[in-house]
Amino acid sequence: MPRRPPAALPGEDLIRQGLADLSAGRETAAALLVAIGADRLRAAGVRVPSVGIADPEHRLYAMLAAHNPRTAHGAYNALVRRLVSFERALEHRRRRRRARPTSRVGAASGAGTASTDATSG
């Protein structure tokens, strides 16, 4: 089972659904959206199943157009905005976690901080 992305991020519900759909072999709008963002999601630490969907962007648009051609363009853009919002929020969270001191003792003494590292040796 793929590792779940962190909770409480914008678009997280859609990404979770897409991961579940990909794992189950379902080609849904959510699954295609996750396939579109697979490389960036993997780089951010999300385990995205490798399913090899060809042209997920075109397939998603075609799926939306088959449902309602007049709204396909707007719906596609809205889904991609949700994906990008999730990716950015996840990347931001990961940067913040890496920037935090690993222990209160190290933080209080200044050990491991940039200013200490820059002045030592």
Predicted confidence at residue 95, as pLDDT, reads 85
Q: Is residue 2 part of a domain?
A: no
Q: 60: Cβ–Cβ under 8 A, 6 or more apart, which residues?
A: 29, 32, 33, 36, 76, 79
For 77, the domain range is 12-99
Q: How many domains does the structure of the chain reveal?
A: 1
Q: Is residue 82 part of a domain?
A: yes
Q: Is residue 81 part of a domain?
A: yes
Q: Is residue 108 part of a domain?
A: no
Amino acid letter for position 67: H
Per residue in 73-117, pLDDT (tens digit) is 999 999 999 999 999 999 998 888 887 766 555 444 444 433 333
Per residue in 50-67, pLDDT (tens digit) is 888 999 999 999 999 999
